[in-house]
Amino acid sequence: MQTGCDSDRLSLYYDNMLPQDEMEAMKLHIEQCPHCTKWLAECSALSALLQEEMNPPADFSGRVLEGLPPQDKKIQTISSWRPVISFVGLAACAAIVFGLSPQTIDPTPDMIPRSTVELPSSPIVDDGASMSSSTMTEQTPPAYEYPDTDAPPPADMSPALDTSSTQGGRNPGATDITPIYFSSNAQPNYESFYLLAETLDSPPVAILVLSQYPTDPHYLGFLPEEESLSVSSAFPDLAYATLSYEQVFRVSPLFGATFTESETDFYLLVLPLSS
Partner 1 sequence: MPPHTQEEKRLVHKAKNGSQIAFGELVSLHEKKIFALCYRMMGNPDDAQDAAQEAFFSAWRALPNFKEESAFGTWLYRLANNACIDLLRKQNRYKTTSLSQEFEEGEEGAELQIPDNTTRPDTKFEQKELGIALQEGLDSLPSNHREVLLLREISGLSYQEISEKLDLDLGTVKSRIARGRTTLRKFLLEKGNFSP
Compare residues 37 and 115 and give the one whose CB is closer to partner 1: 37
Taking each helix axis as running N to C, give the angle between helix 7-14 and helix 34-50, from 0 to 180 degrees, rounded to the nearest 10: 60
Are the C-beta atoms of 176 and 85 separated by less than 8 Å? yes
Compare residues 131 and 155 and give the one whose CB is closer to partner 1: 131
Are the C-beta atoms of 209 and 104 separated by less than 8 Å? no
Compare residues 37 and 165 and give the one whose CB is closer to partner 1: 37
Compare residues 44 and 115 and give the one whose CB is closer to partner 1: 44
Distance in angstroms between the alpha carbons of the first and the last residue of the chain:
57
Give the 3-state secondary structure of residue 90: helix
Work out how close the CB of 127 gets to partner 1 at its nearest, in angstroms, rounded to a whole number: 5
Work out how close the CB of 133 gets to partner 1 at its nearest, in angstroms, rounded to a whole number: 7
Compare residues 128 and 169 and give the one whose CB is closer to partner 1: 128
**Chain residues in the site for partner 1 (CB under 8 A):** 7-8, 10-12, 14-15, 17, 38-39, 41-47, 49-57, 60-61, 63-65, 67-75, 125-137, 184-187, 190-191, 222-224, 227, 263-264
Give the 3-state secondary structure of residue 8: helix
Residues 195, 178: Cα–Cα separation, whole Å: 19
Work out how close the CB of 35 gets to partner 1 at its nearest, in angstroms, rounded to a whole number: 12
Work out how close the CB of 10 gets to partner 1 at its nearest, in angstroms, rounded to a whole number: 8
Residues 155, 248: Cα–Cα separation, whole Å: 24
Beta strand 124-125 pairing with 181-182: parallel
Q: Rg of the Cα trace of the chain?
A: 25
Work out how close the CB of 200 gets to partner 1 at its nearest, in angstroms, rounded to a whole number: 17
